[in-house]
Structure 1
């Protein structure tokens, strides 16, 4: 009986221990020796995934020439954003001179609301204020974008064509009614003629396309304003 009980106990013990031993073997066989998680492989790219289309190399771009010149074509891959458009020293000189030139025109126009007798003179002055104020901002921005100072060292702005003397400006400020109208038209006509000459000169020597367009606009619009002022006073 004792032997039978011993064999029975051995069988039961083996039945309990054997599964545990099998589990330990499996555990040891799969252990990597570290608790770090295994890296997860990135999903394979499907062979049917779309790919970026190559950039065409046979396209051409039309590059405009300077005023009076024909446009040229260039391969598209050669065209790059080169920043501000190319300019020369005469472009810079024009902008630096035109800013104070515009400033004096604004100073004259600002006198008209309280002094002019003719409503047409007041209307012309208001038009000058509405156009030349933003134009001054554009020119200052043009210089700032290129890292250029606004002032031209050692230049007397009073020598520019059309600029009125300090004495003439004082006389205009002191005038009233019809006297103001006549003086304003004479002075502003001279002032506009100077601006037209400066703008026309730039069209032959400048290289910046934006400034060429601006100079052409100045010459055209101020010629029209001269005609209007002459009509106001009967020629």
Structure 2
């Protein structure tokens, strides 16, 4: 599976830094002489590899820098992924008592160790962006990979190898759903921090799915 690159977001951040830096250098170094040469109020944007830099007006420079303000896709992703992760934690807590295989217990601990901090990071991001982080119950089954309440009850009742088998099946499906959601926000969102979290999630959960399939 191909893991989406962070490069477009990184390029945007680099471009913003370059524009701000060169704008400051231009205004400080050129002074009144820049007006005489028709370059006052312009900024220098670095070109692509092998291409020269370009001088842009402030209006052109503003359009060249990607808008990093969260959109509805970014906000929905964080809100829904918190709920998604909480269900995964509910499943991993059962492994300590019900699992037969040490390998299943280890993968459950690994999942819990990664997803609890991710929940806290997304909650913090939502708060910093003025969102509550609360989701309605109707969103539950709209998220791919979520186990039904009946499936979770079966998992709670299972023991030993039967638990291991059902846990792995449900968690692989759960991870597949999370990767689908992360891939979607990479194409529809615009916030750099959410893109970073989604990219990290895809890498982490793809590795965990490979381990679980091997079991």
Q: TM-score, normalised by structure 1?
A: 0.65
CA distance in 2 between partners of 1:200 and 1:65 (Å): 14
1:65 offset after TM fit, Å? 5.2
Q: Is the 8 A contact 2:80 2:139 kept in 1?
A: no
Larger-Rg structure: 1
CA distance in 2 between partners of 1:98 and 1:193 (Å): 13
Structure 2 residue runs of 5 or longer lacking an equivalent are: 1-6, 25-57, 59-67
CA distance in 2 between partners of 1:230 and 1:156 (Å): 28
CA distance in 1 between partners of 2:20 and 2:174 (Å): 46
Work out which of the residue numbers 49, 66, 74 in structure 1 matches 2:9: 66
Paired residue for 1:149?
Answer: 132
Structure 1 residue runs of 5 or longer lacking an equivalent are: 1-63, 79-84
**1:106-141 deviation digits (Å, cap 9, x = unpaired):** 000000011101100000000011000010000000
How many residue pairs match? The answer is 163
1:205 offset after TM fit, Å? 1.4
Paired residue for 2:214?
Answer: 231
Q: Is the 8 A contact 1:88 1:208 kept in 2?
A: yes
Q: Which moved more, 1:206-215 or 1:150-159?
A: 150-159
Which protein has the bigger helix share?
Answer: 2
1:156 offset after TM fit, Å? 2.7
Work out which of the residue numbers 179, 186, 192 in structure 2 matches 1:209: 192
CA 100–127 in structure 1, closer or farther in 2 if over 3 Å, else same: same
1:75 and 2:58 matched: no
**Relative contact order (C-alpha < 8 Å, sep 6+): which is higher?**
2
The Cα RMSD (Å) is 2.0
**1:21-58 deviation digits (Å, cap 9, x = unpaired):** xxxxxxxxxxxxxxxxxxxxxxxxxxxxxxxxxxxxxx
Q: Is the 8 A contact 1:65 1:71 kept in 2?
A: no
